[in-house]
């Protein structure tokens, strides 16, 4: 991970600009909305202000992708470039440039003024709810403004050579090139011990960049790294039924993922696909298997519904601890019907969109380089499974702690002062009367401002399902310690709600990311 710095033309000082990772382009899964209304498109959705995307002058995008992962749209700036690709067909794409500064709407969605650039050979005209991929150059989780600056015309690289007393230019020369020959210069300085302004050769350095730390593509990373990824989308829709009370593989050939455990021995595994429960009264579970056995703490109740047929696309994420660093592991996606006789199934392919497995490094980062953790770094994580199903109920609109002893997380705020806290557990609402379950963050005896969000609301029937809720917190004091507890409350209605976890229900997890 490398930090890019630029020379402020007004002061002449070097200022941190952003970070670089690998290729520098971030791709995030979204669903397309055909609405053209200038409003929040909904979590995981993106839309344009014209029914013909090539005629659009504005794009409205959620800050969360379909997996509930924060997408750093705030790093887009005038001149940034991004693409939308129709999932499964790379020829169906559209390219835009950002024409003016994007507007952040309550940290939930962005209005992005755009100029149409081009479409692929297959055009771009997705239907409502079609899965697309957003490829951000100059935005996303890392890269950010540094890529915008690089797009201005980086033509040369100057590297500090170990044991040398000066920066070495391409070709081995020690003299800066003529200012007319190079528009932008990037200085790579792995140790951060040198000031490039001492070796500029008198040229105009207003647009130069300076990279400190391990250059992109080498060494460690301060981000939550994606270790492995499987996306399976067969042309014909598959609906795989769970018929037993034991976990079995859904598709041992195609729904499997292999990864190497990181230094912490901790990974975060995310599963996402459509599920269906026909009729009522059964509990449907997902889990992970390795070598024919269930992986500890990977099992979760995905869906229980009291009446009628239910279709939806959950995102289950679990924290797996205790792995041996640098060791290879293979997980297969498993399911079971825990109780009842209704048909429970996982659906993918065709019109149901893909089944997705992701494995992320669970390494935490304490920051470094004097600036705290980099964007996307895991600051802290808590995984709690008491061994049998438990969890408090609530009948009040006043938030209370779910478990002030075990569901609490302490972290140090990153240099940005912004974090993303992900809460994941089973959520239950009862009918007669109906009610909504809200989750929030609490500090001491108070709710953290702006963190109250409805996790689930059911108007007619009792329902239990796995929910992952990302909560953004901004304005923290860098390098200061914070302790947050998980809170719950009735978000609407007057019934009974519950956060449930433990045993066959699965773990409750809290993960704090630098944002």
Q: What's the CATH number where 122 sits?
A: 2.40.30
What residues have CB less than 8 Å from 168, skipping those under 6 apart? Answer: 158, 159, 160, 161, 174
Confidence bin at 145 (pLDDT 50/70/90) = very low
Q: Which domain holds residue 285?
A: 226-357
Q: Is there a contact between 398 and 447 (Cβ–Cβ < 8 Å)?
A: no
- The Cα–Cα gap between 485 and 442 comes to 5
Residue 362 lies in a domain: no
- Within this chain, do residues 17 and 152 fall inside the same structural domain, yes or no? yes
**End position of a domain, from candidates 108, 124, 141:** 141
**Average pLDDT rounded to a whole number, residues 324-340:** 90
Q: Is there a contact between 344 and 337 (Cβ–Cβ < 8 Å)?
A: yes
Q: Is there a contact between 358 and 270 (Cβ–Cβ < 8 Å)?
A: yes
- The Cα–Cα gap between 116 and 91 comes to 17
- Within this chain, do residues 400 and 341 fall inside the same structural domain, yes or no? no
- The Cα–Cα gap between 372 and 16 comes to 12
Looking at residue 308, what is its pLDDT? 57
**Average pLDDT rounded to a whole number, residues 170-175:** 38
Evaluate if residue 222 carries a pLDDT over 60: no
- Within this chain, do residues 237 and 314 fall inside the same structural domain, yes or no? yes
- Within this chain, do residues 508 and 416 fall inside the same structural domain, yes or no? yes
- Least confident span in 12-21, 227-236, 295-304: 12-21
- Within this chain, do residues 17 and 160 fall inside the same structural domain, yes or no? yes
Looking at residue 366, what is its pLDDT? 42
What residues have CB less than 8 Å from 335, skipping those under 6 apart? Answer: 240, 242, 247, 248, 250, 284, 285, 286, 287, 344, 346
Reported as a single tens digit per residue, the pLDDT across 423-442 is 988 888 866 667 888 999 99
Reported as a single tens digit per residue, the pLDDT across 85-134 is 887 676 788 989 899 989 998 888 999 999 998 888 888 888 888 888 88
**End position of a domain, from candidates 322, 357, 392:** 357
- Within this chain, do residues 94 and 107 fall inside the same structural domain, yes or no? yes
Burial class (CB in 10 A: 0-12, 13-18, 19+), 473: buried
Long-range pairs of 33-36 with CB within 8 A, sequence gap ≥ 24: 33/128, 33/129, 34/126, 34/127, 34/128
Q: How many residues does the chain have?
A: 515
**End position of a domain, from candidates 90, 106, 141:** 141
Residues 251-272, buried b or exposed e (16+ Cβ, 10 A)?
Answer: beebbbbebebbeebbbbbbbb
Looking at residue 440, what is its pLDDT? 95
Residue 204 lies in a domain: yes
- Within this chain, do residues 31 and 17 fall inside the same structural domain, yes or no? no
CATH code for the domain in which residue 285 is found: 2.60.120
| Average pLDDT value for the chain | 74
**Average pLDDT rounded to a whole number, residues 366-381:** 52
- Within this chain, do residues 400 and 438 fall inside the same structural domain, yes or no? yes
- The Cα–Cα gap between 123 and 59 comes to 18
More confident residue, 264 or 351: 264
Closest among 23, 415, 15, 369 to 210, alpha carbons compared? 15
CATH code for the domain in which residue 451 is found: 2.60.120.760
Number of independent structural domains in the chain:
4
Closest among 505, 406, 414, 510 to 464, alpha carbons compared? 505
Residue 458 lies in a domain: yes
Looking at residue 397, what is its pLDDT? 93
- The Cα–Cα gap between 512 and 374 comes to 13
Reduced DSSP (H G I as helix, E B as strand, rest coil) percent helix, strand, coil of the chain, to 5: 5, 50, 45
Residue 370 lies in a domain: no
Evaluate if residue 486 carries a pLDDT over 90: yes
What torsion, rounded to 10 degrees, do the Cα atoms 106, 370, 10, 5 define? -90
Residue 135 lies in a domain: yes
Residue 466 lies in a domain: yes
Residue 92 lies in a domain: yes
Q: For a pLDDT cut of 70, what percent of the chain falls above it?
A: 70
Reported as a single tens digit per residue, the pLDDT across 82-98 is 888 887 676 788 989 89
- Within this chain, do residues 41 and 130 fall inside the same structural domain, yes or no? yes
Residue 103 lies in a domain: yes
- Within this chain, do residues 16 and 161 fall inside the same structural domain, yes or no? yes
């Amino acid at each position: 991970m490398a930090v890019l710095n630029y020379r402020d033309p007004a002061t002449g000082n070097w200022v941190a600009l952003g970070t670089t990772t690998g290729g520098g382009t971030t791709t995030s899964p979204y669903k397309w909305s055909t609405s053209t209304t200038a409003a929040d498109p909904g979590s995981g959705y993106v839309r344009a202000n014209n029914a013909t995307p090539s005629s659009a002058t504005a794009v409205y995008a959620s800050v969360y992708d379909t997996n509930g992962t924060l997408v750093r749209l705030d790093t887009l700036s005038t001149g940034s470039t991004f693409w939308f690709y129709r999932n499964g067909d790379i020829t169906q794409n559209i390219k835009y440039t950002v024409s003016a500064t994007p507007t952040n709407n309550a940290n939930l969605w962005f209005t992005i003024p755009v100029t149409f650039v081009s479409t692929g050979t297959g055009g771009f005209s997705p239907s409502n709810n079609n899965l697309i991929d957003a490829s951000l150059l100059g935005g996303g989780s890392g890269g950010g403004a540094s890529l915008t600056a690089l797009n201005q015309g980086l033509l040369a690289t100057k590297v500090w050579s170990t044991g040398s007393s000066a920066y070495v230019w391409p070709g081995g020369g020690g003299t800066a090139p003529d200012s007319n020959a190079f528009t932008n210069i990037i200085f790579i300085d792995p140790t951060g011990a040198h000031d490039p302004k001492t070796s500029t050769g008198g040229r105009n350095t207003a647009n130069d960049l300076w990279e400190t730390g391990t250059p992109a593509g080498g060494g460690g990373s301060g981000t939550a790294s994606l270790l492995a990824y499987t996306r399976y989308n067969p042309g014909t829709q598959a609906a795989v039924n769970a018929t037993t009370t034991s976990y079995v593989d859904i598709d041992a050939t195609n729904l499997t993922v292999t990864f190497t455990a990181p230094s912490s021995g901790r990974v975060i595994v995310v599963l996402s696909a459509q599920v269906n429960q026909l009729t009522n009264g059964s509990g449907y579970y997902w889990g992970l298997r390795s070598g024919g056995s269930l992986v500890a703490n990977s099992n979760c109740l995905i869906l229980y519904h009291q009446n009628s047929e239910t279709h939806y696309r959950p995102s289950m994420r679990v924290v797996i601890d205790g792995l041996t660093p640098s060791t290879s592991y293979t997980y297969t996606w498993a399911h079971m019907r825990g109780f009842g006789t209704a048909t429970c199934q996982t659906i993918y392919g065709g019109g149901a969109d893909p089944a997705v497995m992701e494995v992320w490094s669970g390494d935490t980062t304490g920051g470094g380089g004097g600036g705290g953790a980099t964007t996307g770094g895991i600051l802290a994580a808590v995984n709690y499974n008491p061994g049998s199903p438990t969890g408090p109920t609530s009948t009040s609109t006043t938030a209370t702690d779910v478990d002030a002893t075990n569901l609490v997380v302490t972290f140090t705020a990153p240099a940005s002062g912004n974090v993303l806290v992900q809460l994941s557990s089973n959520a239950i609402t009862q009918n007669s009367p109906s009610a909504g379950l809200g989750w929030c963050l609490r500090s001491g005896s108070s709710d953290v401002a702006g963190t109250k969000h409805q996790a689930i609301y059911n108007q007619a029937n009792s329902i239990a399902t796995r929910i992952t809720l990302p909560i953004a917190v901004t304005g923290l004091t860098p390098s200061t310690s914070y302790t947050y507890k998980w809170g719950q409350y009735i978000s609407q209605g007057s019934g009974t709600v519950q956060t449930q976890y433990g045993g066959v229900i699965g773990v409750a997890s809290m993960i704090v990311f630098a944002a």
